[in-house]
Amino acid sequence: MTKKQLILLTLVGVSLLSGLSSLTAQSSEWSESKRKKGIQVLTRPFAGSNLDEFLGKTEVDASIAQVISLLIDPASCKNLYHQCKELTVLSGTDKKSVVYLRNGAPWPVNDRDLIMDRSFEQNEKTLATVMKIKRLDSNARPVPSGVTRMENFEGVWRITPQTNGKLKVEYQAHFEPGGSVPQSVINLVLTDTPYESLLNVQKLAEEGKHKDAKFDWIKEPTKTNPN
C-alpha cells in the first residue's frame, strides 16, 4: 500500500468515526414530551437499556429544607409521589436511609416494588442539594404476592437555588421494571411520574406544608432585600 493510499484510508476512517460519534451524541439528546403548568418533562435514550430515562423540571417558591421535608415525609407516598402505594423507612436517618417503595400499576400489570438507598448531599458553595435514590440488592422486605420486584432503579432529585429567589427542582430517573410491561404503560410512566410528582411538589409548597422545616445539615441561600 502506497503512502497516498494509507493517508486516504485514514481520512475515510476518521470521517466514518466522526459520523458515528455524531449519531451517538444525537441519540443522547433530551426530547421534550410535555410542558404544562410550569413543568417541563424530557426523555432520552439510556445506554444499555430499551427504556428511556426521564427528567422533569419546575421552579417553586420554598426553602431547601421545605422541599426535602416534602420528599421524605411518610405522607408523601399519598400526596406527592405518583402511583405510590407504600413508602416505608426501614433504617437510617433523614439524611441517609434504606427505604421500601411499592408503586401501583394499571390492571393487568403487577405492582412494582424495590428496596432502595436514599441519601442527601449539598454543595457548600452553590448550596445545590441532591437526593440520590438507588435500588439495593436486599431482601429486607419480601416481595408481596402479585408484586414484581424492579430489576433496577436509579434516580436523583436536584434542588438548586436560583437568582430570582426560587428553587429549581428536578427529578431524573431510569428504571428497569422487570417482568412484562406494555409499551403504552411505560410511555405513561415516563411522562406522568415526573409531571405528577412535580405538580404535587408545587401544590404542597404553595400550601405551606413543612414551610418551617430545618435541618442542621442544610444551609439556605441568603434572601436579598429588593429594596
The Cα–Cα gap between 160 and 170 comes to 9
User: Is it the case that residue 1 has pLDDT exceeding 90?
Assistant: no
Tell me the per-residue pLDDT of 114-169, one tens digit each, with 9 for 90 and over: 999 999 999 999 999 999 999 999 999 999 999 999 999 999 999 999 999 999 99
**Which residues make Cβ contacts (< 8 Å) with residue 25, sequence separation at least 6?**
none
| Residue 1 CB-half CA count within 13 A | 8
Cis peptide, bond prior to residue 108, ω within 30 of zero:
yes
The Cα–Cα gap between 66 and 49 comes to 35
User: Is it the case that residue 44 has pLDDT exceeding 60?
Assistant: yes
* Contact between 41 and 195 (Cβ < 8 Å): yes
* Contact between 100 and 88 (Cβ < 8 Å): yes
Domains of the chain plus CATH, in order, are 37-206 (3.30.530.20)
Which of 67, 85, 84, 57 minimizes the C-alpha distance to 195? Answer: 57
Sequential DSSP letters for 123-170: -TTT--EEEEEEE----SSPPPTTEEE-SEEEEEEEEEE-TTS-EEEE
Pairing, β 129-135 against β 152-161: antiparallel
pTM of the model: 0.85
Tell me the per-residue pLDDT of 51-109, one tens digit each, with 9 for 90 and over: 999 999 999 999 999 999 999 999 999 999 999 999 999 999 999 999 999 999 988 89
